[in-house]
């Protein structure tokens, strides 16, 4: 069932792309009132794992305590961006382990295949399962080289068989998210999109600009959740800080919804 949101800020997904737990905790503490979901990805996960395995006992224990503190801080708002992508049995066991941490949501790649996706859905517990389609950094030519066709075609194909597997949501670029909303088959899916850029922050990054949208246009196109990192975590000086940046995006969402 498509997710429901009580207020505009609930639609903002903030990536905790940091290797330091203190920075992650500080971001959550400062921005919890202004965003709906905190995404914990590879950088934070593997940095924490490396600390726990390589530091001396006293420092490793301190890191473990901070990791548990972060988990409590994002309880109910955590998105484990683990992008599972392997054979069915491996994905099934991994999904079962991920579900034990009780995230709000976690994800896997569409390219893992339908059997693996169904296995993740079966083992998701109380979490929501999202499928990653074509990464937002992949441009048209590269997509054709990797997948055999352009993003608009492959995202629709991946979403088509993923919804048949029972997933809760799809992750794709905003340009393709707007295409998905034109098909009634995807009415029950929650669509989450990275590559969101407000008009007041046009700094270049590693995303495909051709597949990018502003928060306002994305919401008007029927996209549900907006993954927005650097405009919030590293805002331009004139914006006045991360909280102000998040508020501006929330206000833009609210105007689009109205």
Q: Which two tokens mark 190?
A: 């929650």
Nearest-angstrom CA–CA distance, 234 and 242 = 7
Asked if 21 and 70 touch (Cβ cutoff 8 Å), the reply is yes
For the annotated catalytic residues, the residue numbers are 83
Asked if 198 and 249 touch (Cβ cutoff 8 Å), the reply is yes
Q: Which two tokens mark 138?
A: 């992949």
> How many Cα atoms sit within 13 Å of 116 on the Cβ side?
19
Nearest-angstrom CA–CA distance, 13 and 23 = 17
Give the DSSP H or E segment for 92.
helix 88-99
Q: Which two tokens mark 82?
A: 């683990």
Neighbours of 16 (CB within 10 A): 25
Give the DSSP H or E segment for 238.
none
Nearest-angstrom CA–CA distance, 147 and 168 = 23
Give the DSSP H or E segment for 142.
helix 140-147
The length of the chain in residues reads 258
């Amino acid at each position: 069932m498509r997710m429901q949101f009580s207020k505009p800020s609930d639609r903002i997904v903030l990536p905790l792309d940091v290797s330091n737990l203190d920075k992650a905790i500080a971001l959550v503490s400062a921005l919890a009132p202004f965003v709906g979901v905190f995404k914990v990805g590879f950088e934070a996960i593997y940095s924490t794992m490396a600390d726990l395995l390589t530091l001396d006992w006293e420092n490793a224990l301190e890191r473990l305590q901070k990791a548990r503190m972060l988990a409590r801080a994002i309880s109910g708002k955590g998105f484990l961006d683990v992008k599972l992508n392997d054979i069915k049995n491996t994905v099934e066991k991994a999904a079962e382990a991920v579900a034990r941490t009780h995230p709000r949501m976690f994800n896997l790649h569409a390219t893992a295949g339908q059997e693996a996706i169904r296995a993740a859905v079966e083992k998701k517990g109380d979490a929501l399962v999202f499928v990653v389609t074509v990464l937002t950094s992949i441009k048209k030519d590269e997509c054709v080289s990797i997948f055999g066709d352009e993003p608009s075609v492959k995202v629709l194909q991946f979403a088509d068989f993923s919804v048949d597997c029972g997933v809760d949501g799809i992750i794709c670029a905003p340009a393709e998210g707007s295409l998905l909303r034109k098909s009634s088959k995807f009415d029950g899916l929650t669509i989450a999109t990275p590559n969101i850029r407000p008009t007041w922050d046009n700094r270049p990054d590693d995303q495909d600009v051709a597949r990018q949208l502003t928060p306002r246009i994305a919401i008007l196109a029927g996209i549900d959740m907006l993954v927005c990192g650097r405009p919030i975590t590293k805002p331009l000086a004139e914006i006045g800080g991360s909280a102000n940046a998040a508020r501006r995006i929330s206000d833009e969402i609210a105007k689009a919804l109205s």
